[in-house]
Amino acid sequence: MNHDAYDDNYIRSILNNVKSIAMVGASPVNVRPSYFAFKYLAQRGYDMIPVNPGHVGKSLLGKPFVASLRDIGRPVDMIDIFRSSSHIMPVVEEALTLSPPPKVIWMQLGARDDAAAAKAEAAGLKVVMNRCPKIEYGRLSSEISWMGVNSRTLSSKRAPIPTQGMRLSLNRMSVGGGATAASDRAAKNKSEPT
């Protein structure tokens, strides 16, 4: 798998097929990126599970926090890792101990661990690194075009505005592969010495 560029159909397949998402590093603070991503995905009908040992006893949008993936107590389709790259391998190793294991390991923008990705892929999991499922969902559904952002999707019809729990079609045609090189450039610039 080339983790420098993902085919839209690969991302589309993941977002269309997962139902439950455990977000490791979720925050109840409403100005944190993980809060926005959690809320957005929950509003699109995904069964969201907040994982953060520092917030056990609290809830995020009515969903109680759990301390670890093992504490979820039920199967989960995707692990969305909202942690820095140095904390990814332990999360992947814990995910691989789950029975059944998740189908997908997703690492948020700026997060990449090639060794952890290889380990997950060797176990048969799909992996996405340095991408945000919220952004990818909005781009593939053309939802972000409502805000004047070019989603690189073509259709003669505007995507419907979703209602609570409504999933939008992610099958709109993309032009030029719809690659999102901006996140790759941002990650590269972040790692280069100044």
Out of 104-108, 137-141, 181-185, which region has the weakest mean confidence (pLDDT)?
181-185
Domain boundaries, the chain: 8-153+163-172+181-186
pLDDT tens track for 3-35:
999 999 999 999 999 999 999 999 999 999 999
**String of b and e for 116-131 (b: at least 16 CB within 10 Å)?**
bbebbeeeebbbbbbb
Give domain 8-153+163-172+181-186's CATH architecture. 3-Layer(aba) Sandwich (3.40)
User: Secondary structure of 114-132 in the HEC alphabet?
Assistant: HHHHHHHHHCCCEEECCCC
* pTM (two decimals): 0.78
pLDDT tens track for 33-60:
999 999 999 999 999 999 999 999 999 9
